[in-house]
Structure 1
Amino acid sequence: MEAYGQILLIAMPAFFGLVLFEKFYGIWKGNDTVPLNDMIASLSSGITNVTKDVLGLSLAVISYQWLHSKLGFFQIEDSWLVYLIAFFALDFAGYWTHRIAHEYNLFWNNHIIHHSSEEFNLACALRQSISSIVKIFAIFLLPAALLGVPPEVIAIVAPLHLFAQFWYHTRHIGKMGFLEKIIVTPSHHRVHHAINPEYLDKNYGQIFIFWDKWFGTYQEEQDDIPAVYGVTRPVRTWNPIKINFMHLWLLIKDAWRTEKWSDKLKIWFMPLGWRPDDVTEKYPVDKIEDVYHFEKYNPELSKGLLIWSFGQLIVLLLLISYLFSNLAAIGSPGIFYYGAFIFLTVYSYTELMDRNPNAWAWELLKSAFAFYILLSSGDWFGLNSYLPGAVYFLVFYLALSFILSIWFSSKKESMVIAN
């Protein structure tokens, strides 16, 4: 947990810098693919994901350590070969968990957030799940366990494998020649994120594209079929916490509403999109029928609200950097209180971006929670000892945030700004 937090302290500013670079590069080239509202929502989703992971809020069905101890028939010496095998094994496991997430109702809820953006850019790579509480990933690492790859090696290689999936979420890189036959490229991944019928549910590979070619899920990007991004049941919100659980909520409602007991059970394990006939008829859901003619989600936001939302994001990045730097010092249950504050902050300002007139209530809850911590401890998890007087700045931020939330909640925006 602490080691991963230290890694993120390096990775977060690097990713943020690259997202901004893509933004300004697109403006310079006259092809801005990173609308500011979408970027804020994507980075906010990334914040919730890394917070959840660092706090260890997940449960593995089977741990890799257990698999290795029970099934490790061989023992590979600690050399470059064991790291190479680990990398391939992780990619093999990633392909299958990724594919399952797209093919079955139950597992799609863990992945919908990643596809929820109607844009395709580096920021959307950071839309990662907080709803994957129960993980099955280790099951597909069976080949690595059989070959005796130590758990310590998997722990080192796994973050590298994950971060290596960031760069190809862009529209600014075309096809890459012979590399198209070996690794996942931006062209391959544009296909994967597209909702065009020709592209849907293809190219599941994470680093290597040959898994898709071997297992029949490969699709090349066509020049005459421009990719359209998003999900076929559009999410219509910037709030990443809502997005993470909306598919699960639909499944729960459908299971409750359907009259057949067999359908109440079957719905969870059927192919993605399947709904009982009686529920489909009585409770239709919004679905994109023509991918080339639909209105992207873009609620009216003034320039002031957009700038303030970006400011909220910056404050949050600074606060989680402090959390990740001081996990051991803050300790438990303090880190979980801190995590709750982060989630409340994201929820409140993304509700404001959604133009929810009741967004101020979430801001009130966030502020009340933060002031309770400040008043009961006289500090913000030890921040004053690092930066004397920092608590006063935090109080000022909380007060300003609440006042502006009421102001923006009451205003009727008149100017649509996406960039």
Structure 2
Amino acid sequence: METYGKILLIAMPAFLLLVLAEAYYGVWKGKQTVRNLDMISSLSSGITNVTKDVLGLSIAIIGYGWLVDKLAIVHIENNILTYIIAFVALDFAGYWVHRLDHEYNFFWNAHIIHHSSEDFNLACALRQSISVVFRLFTIFLLPAALLGVPTMVIAVVAPLHLFAQFWYHTQHINKMGFLEKIIVTPSHHRVHHAINPEYLDKNYGQIFIIWDKLFGTYQEELADKPPVYGITRPVQTWNPIKINFMHLGLLIKDAWLTKSWNDKFRIWMMPTGWRPADVAEKYPVHKINDVYNMQKFDTKASPSLHMWSWVQITMTLLFISYLFGNIASINALNAYYIYVYGVFIFLSVYAYTDLMDRNKYAIVWEVIKNSLGIAIILQTGDWFGAAALSPVLKYIIGAYFILSTMFTLWFVMKHAKEDERVAILA
């Protein structure tokens, strides 16, 4: 937990700088692939994901260490070859988990957030799930366990394998010659994120494209079929927490509403997108059929809302950086404090992305978040030990909570008046 937090303190600023650099590069080249609110939504999804991971809010059904202890045929030495084997094993496991996520209704909920952006850029790489509680990933590491690859090697290689999947989420790199035959490139991954019929459920590879070619899921990017991004049932929101549970909510609703008991049970493991016939007929869900004429989700946003959204995500990044840098000291104050802090981060993201959606209930979530923050300061006389850095920090943070409530209320009222004016004119 603490080690991963320290790694993220370095990784987060690096990813943010690269995301912003891509946006500026797009302006310079006259090919902008980044929209501001979509980028903030993607970054916010990354915030919730790393918070969940650092707090350890997921459980492996079978631990890798257990697999090694019980099933290892040999025990290879800890050397450079071991790390190479571990990397390949992780990639093999990643391919199958990724494919499982795409092909079955229940597992798609864990991956929908990553595909929910209707843009394709470095920021959307950060859209990662918070809805997974029980992880199946370890099961697919059986080849590494049989070879006795040490648990510590997997622990070191896994973050590197994950971070190595960031760079190819871009439209600014064309096909890469002979590398197209070996590794996953931006061209391969553009196909994977596209909703064109030719591209759906293709190119699951994470580092090596060889798995797709071996198992029949490879598709080349076609010059006459420009990729269109998103999901066929568009999410229509900037709020990453809502997106994470949207598909699960639909499954639960459909299972409840269908009159067929058989469908109530089989819906979970049916192909992604399948719905009981009676429910689909009575409660149709909007689905994109003509990908080339789709309208991307957007919300009316003034320059002031754009600026305020950046203020909010910047403050959230500062809060989360403090958490990751001080996990041990916060935990020493009280074991449950880091979970309270996690709730605060999630409330922050929910509130300002709901405001980006122009949802009037954004003020409710903002008040809850800021009330929690003020209550922490009043009860403890500090902000999770921040007084050690400066005794005035709690006053600055408290002032932010008050101002944040006031600004959010102002925006909600402003949006209500604008919507009322539009309704009158209509």
Q: Same fold (TM over 0.5)?
A: yes
Counterpart for residue 411 of structure 1: 414
1:361 aligns with 2:376: no
TM-score (structure 2 length as normaliser): 0.96
Alignment of 1:211-360 (within 5 A): 211-331=211-331, 332-360=335-363
1:385 aligns with 2:388: yes
Counterpart for residue 197 of structure 1: 197
Counterpart for residue 156 of structure 2: 156
- Structure 1 residues 275-310: Cα deviation after superposition (integer angstroms, max 9, x where no partner): 111111111111111111121110101010111001
Counterpart for residue 88 of structure 2: 88
Distance in structure 2 (CA, Å) of the matches to 1:24 and 1:389: 36
Counterpart for residue 378 of structure 2: 375
Deviation at 1:151, TM superposition (A): 0.5
Distance in structure 1 (CA, Å) of the matches to 2:401 and 2:140: 45
Deviation at 1:391, TM superposition (A): 1.1
Counterpart for residue 25 of structure 2: 25
Runs of 4 or more off by more than 2 Å in structure 1? none
Distance in structure 1 (CA, Å) of the matches to 2:120 and 2:387: 40
1:228 partner SS: coil
1:76 aligns with 2:79: no
Give the letter for the 1:44 counterpart: S
- Tell me the C-alpha RMSD between the 2 structures: 0.8
Deviation at 1:385, TM superposition (A): 1.0
TM-score (structure 1 length as normaliser): 0.98
- Structure 1 residues 317-358: Cα deviation after superposition (integer angstroms, max 9, x where no partner): 111111001111111200000000000000000000000012
Deviation at 1:393, TM superposition (A): 1.2
Distance in structure 2 (CA, Å) of the matches to 1:387 and 1:70: 51
Give the letter for the 1:353 counterpart: M
Gaps of 5+ in 1: 415-419
Deviation at 1:388, TM superposition (A): 2.8
Distance in structure 1 (CA, Å) of the matches to 2:361 and 2:37: 19
Distance in structure 2 (CA, Å) of the matches to 1:387 and 1:236: 42
1:143 aligns with 2:146: no
Counterpart for residue 402 of structure 2: 399
Give the letter for the 2:217 counterpart: T
Gaps of 5+ in 2: 420-426
Give the letter for the 2:402 counterpart: A
Give the letter for the 1:321 counterpart: S
Distance in structure 2 (CA, Å) of the matches to 1:357 and 1:146: 55
Deviation at 1:381, TM superposition (A): 0.2
Percent identity, aligned pairs only, is: 67
Distance in structure 2 (CA, Å) of the matches to 1:58 and 1:10: 23
Distance in structure 2 (CA, Å) of the matches to 1:32 and 1:399: 36
Deviation at 1:119, TM superposition (A): 0.1
Give the letter for the 2:396 counterpart: F
Give the letter for the 1:333 counterpart: Y
1:268 partner SS: helix
Distance in structure 1 (CA, Å) of the matches to 2:399 and 2:184: 46
2:148 partner SS: coil
Distance in structure 2 (CA, Å) of the matches to 1:97 and 1:358: 36
Deviation at 1:387, TM superposition (A): 2.7
